Structure 1
Amino acid sequence: MKKRMLVSLLLATAAAATLSACGSGSKPAETQATTNQGGGDITSAAEEETEAEAEEEASAGSDRYLVWRLNKEPKLWDPTNNSESISDAIVKQLFEGLTVSTSDGFKPGIAESWDVSEDGKTYTFHLRDDAKWSDGDPVTAKDFEYSWRRICDPDYASEALQAITDYVVGGQEYFDGTGSYDDIKATAIDDYTFEVVLKNVTPYFPQLVANDVYLPIKKDVVEAAGEGWEKKPETCVSNGPFMLEEYQVGSHFLFKKNPNYYDADSVKLAGIKAVIITDDNTAYQAYQAGEIDVMDNLPSEQIPQIVAEDPNVIVSADTGAQFMNFNVDKAPTDNVHVRKAIAYAIDRKQIVEQVLKDGSVPASGFIAPTCQKTDGGSFRTMESDGYPAEEYGINPRQANVEAAKQELAEAGYPDGKDFPALEITYANNDRNKKTCEAIQQMLEDNLGITVTLRAEESSVFTSTKNKGDYQMATGGWTNSPYDASGLIKLFYSQNGNNTPQWRWKPYTGAPHDTTLNPGSEAFDIAFDKALASQGADRDNAWIEAEQALMADMPVTPLYYPSYTAVVNEDLVEDVELTASNTFMFKSASVIE
Structure 2
Amino acid sequence: MSSIVSTTRSVPRYATMALVILSLVVLGSCGAFRDQGAGQQGGGGSPNVLRFNLQFEIPDLNSTTTTDGASFDVLNNVMEGLYRLDEDQQPQPAMAEGVEVSEDKLTYTFTLRDGIRWSNGDPVTSHDFRYAWLRAMDPETAGQYSFIISDYIRGDAEFSAGEGSAEDVAIKIPDDKTLRVTLTNPTPFFLGLTAFPTYLPQKQSFVERQGERYSQSEDALLYNGPYTLTELDPTSGATFVKNEDYWDKENVDVERVEGKIVKDVATAVNLYEAGELDATELSSEYVNEYEDSPALDPMVMFSTSYLEMNQSNPAFRNENIRKAIQIGFDREILADKVLNDGSVGAEGYVPPLMDSGGPGDRTFREATPEVLEGFDPERARDLYRRGVEEIGEEPTLTLLVADDSSERDVGMFLQSQFEENLGADVEVKVLPFDRLLEQTAAGDYDFYHLRWVADYNDPMSFLDLWTTNSSFNYTGFSNEEYDRLIASAKVETDPARRLQQLARAEEILIRDEAVVAPTFHPGLTELIRPSVEGLVFHPYGPVEFKYETIRDEPASQGQR
Report if TM-score (shorter chain) is over 0.5: yes
Name the amino acid aligned to 2:227. F
2:116 maps to: 131
User: Aligned pair 1:243/2:228, yes or no?
Assistant: yes
Contact residue 169 and residue 198 of structure 1 kept, 8 A: yes
Contact residue 80 and residue 150 of structure 1 kept, 8 A: yes
- How far apart, CA to CA, are the structure 1 residues paired with 2:231 and 2:215? 11
- What TM-score results when the alignment is normalised by the length of structure 2? 0.77
SS of 2:152's partner is: coil
- How far apart, CA to CA, are the structure 2 residues paired with 1:466 and 1:226? 39
Q: 1:348-375, CA deviations, whole angstroms, 9 ceiling, x for partnerless residues? A: 2321132133554322531223232435
2:37 maps to: 55
- How far apart, CA to CA, are the structure 2 residues paired with 1:153 and 1:523? 33
1:273 maps to: 258
Map 1:486-505 onto structure 2 (within 5 A). Answer: 486-490=461-465
Contact residue 52 and residue 259 of structure 2 kept, 8 A: yes
Q: Return closer, same or farther for 1:187/1:519 CA change in 2, 3 Å cut-off.
A: same
Q: Return closer, same or farther for 1:368/1:590 CA change in 2, 3 Å cut-off.
A: closer
- How far apart, CA to CA, are the structure 2 residues paired with 1:553 and 1:81? 37
Q: Return closer, same or farther for 1:83/1:464 CA change in 2, 3 Å cut-off.
A: farther
2:486 maps to: 527
- What TM-score results when the alignment is normalised by the length of structure 1? 0.73
How far did residue 95 of structure 1 move? Answer: 1.3
* Aligned with residue 526 of structure 2, among 565, 570, 577: 565
Name the amino acid aligned to 1:321. T
SS of 1:290's partner is: coil
SS of 1:45's partner is: coil
SS of 2:426's partner is: coil
User: Aligned pair 1:140/2:116, yes or no?
Assistant: no
How far did residue 584 of structure 1 move? Answer: 1.6
Q: 1:492-532, CA deviations, whole angstroms, 9 ceiling, x for partnerless residues? A: 6888xx65657xxxxxxxxxxxxxx5738865543231121
2:431 maps to: 454
SS of 1:148's partner is: helix
- How far apart, CA to CA, are the structure 1 residues paired with 2:67 and 2:508? 24
Q: Return closer, same or farther for 1:81/1:41 CA change in 2, 3 Å cut-off.
A: closer
Contact residue 389 and residue 396 of structure 1 kept, 8 A: no
2:557 maps to: none
Map 1:426-441 onto structure 2 (within 5 A). Answer: 426=403, 428=404, 430-441=405-416
Contact residue 341 and residue 408 of structure 1 kept, 8 A: no
Matched pairs, number: 528
- How far apart, CA to CA, are the structure 2 residues paired with 1:204 and 1:590? 32
* Aligned with residue 74 of structure 2, among 70, 84, 90: 90
How far did residue 450 of structure 1 move? Answer: 1.7
User: Aligned pair 1:403/2:383, yes or no?
Assistant: yes
- Of 223-232 and 182-191, the range deviating more from structure 2: 223-232
1:474 maps to: 450
- How far apart, CA to CA, are the structure 2 residues paired with 1:546 and 1:278? 37
* Aligned with residue 350 of structure 1, among 328, 333, 351: 333
Q: Return closer, same or farther for 1:578/1:448 CA change in 2, 3 Å cut-off.
A: closer
1:8 maps to: none
1:26 maps to: none
Name the amino acid aligned to 1:568. R
Name the amino acid aligned to 1:100. R
Map 1:154-193 onto structure 2 (within 5 A). Answer: 154=139, 158-176=143-161, 179-193=164-178
User: Aligned pair 1:291/2:267, yes or no?
Assistant: no
Contact residue 325 and residue 500 of structure 1 kept, 8 A: no
Q: Return closer, same or farther for 1:487/1:271 CA change in 2, 3 Å cut-off.
A: farther
Q: Return closer, same or farther for 1:444/1:252 CA change in 2, 3 Å cut-off.
A: farther
User: Aligned pair 1:320/2:303, yes or no?
Assistant: yes
Q: Return closer, same or farther for 1:389/1:200 CA change in 2, 3 Å cut-off.
A: closer
Contact residue 217 and residue 238 of structure 1 kept, 8 A: no
Contact residue 236 and residue 243 of structure 1 kept, 8 A: no
Name the amino acid aligned to 1:558. T
Please list every run of 5 or more consecutive structure 2 residues that lacks an aligned counterpart in the other structure.
Answer: 1-6, 553-560
Q: 1:426-469, CA deviations, whole angstroms, 9 ceiling, x for partnerless residues? A: 4x4x544433332344455552122122355xxx6898699769
User: Aligned pair 1:254/2:239, yes or no?
Assistant: yes
Q: Return closer, same or farther for 1:270/1:198 CA change in 2, 3 Å cut-off.
A: same
How far did residue 156 of structure 1 move? Answer: 5.1
Please list every run of 5 or more consecutive structure 1 residues that lacks an aligned counterpart in the other structure.
Answer: 1-28, 503-516
- How far apart, CA to CA, are the structure 1 residues paired with 2:515 and 2:166? 34
Q: What percent of counterpart residues are identical?
A: 26
* C-alpha RMSD of matched pairs (Å): 4.4
Q: Return closer, same or farther for 1:591/1:124 CA change in 2, 3 Å cut-off.
A: same
- How far apart, CA to CA, are the structure 1 residues paired with 2:347 and 2:23? 32
Name the amino acid aligned to 1:182. E
